[in-house]
Structure 1
């Protein structure tokens, strides 16, 4: 059965975009509470929470991201034209993001467009994406308490860890630039 990405999720993403915090392209300083030029995990968590991404992705408002909500959230972020399917251009953005500094991890997962387009219709539907995304295994990696869902803290810590490429526990340049790019207009987290 082929499921189209629900309009409700698309509308929620649009509403969140209209109400999101100010654009942060070059202004990570507003998250840097102690003005040391870097972001600790607490500073990041506060700033990231203010973006409202977790709340937008938590469709059932239970305070947890299920594997479906996590997949739908990522999928909706890449569905730039809010069509309910990923075309090859949008998927290319996904593929580039997965490859850039290993953000989404797991290089062993095939990210070939045709492999994720299971029915071969030229677009990746939400259920096809969910299957491929499930193989990436990000939810399992970030789910510290192994309950099968992500709390807001687990989600924030997981995202923080991906930006903290050198594993120092602090996000500094050039990692700050990546956050600024991703939080700004048309960046990954610009929901």
Structure 2
């Protein structure tokens, strides 16, 4: 009996939510077979959906020429002195380091008429505060490459050469041109 008392309200719930239309009666008159009007009452929000037809996919017409997507590109003549191909992985500028007696000779491709600074950083670990690095200023020059020599280095001591090109500028999207470089570990002779 208790179960019946619980089930009866649950069975009546769909009828209560569906109203008279669930029983097939008109909600306004309560008579069978009539239906509610399909026009909106004033103030009611209705969504109107209209049937349409699919638009056919465009079909390319053979034989017609199309204008080029981009204008033709003309490359500047290559200076014969700049024939070396440098692989540039942004933001690093590639370096070539040649060890000498107490010195390192560093060569890199010139980047956007920037001035440069280089330094050789000792690699043995030092406990505590690291010393300031003596930066050497290097002018941009006019050739394809820039070469500078760092001298006064200790024979057999491992160094890494750092390069900074602070005035290389930016691409149109805001990214920096290649602006720094780093060598592997090198040992002066």
TM-score by length of structure 2 reads 0.24
Q: Which has the higher contact order (CA 8 A, sep 6+)?
A: 1
Larger Rg: 2
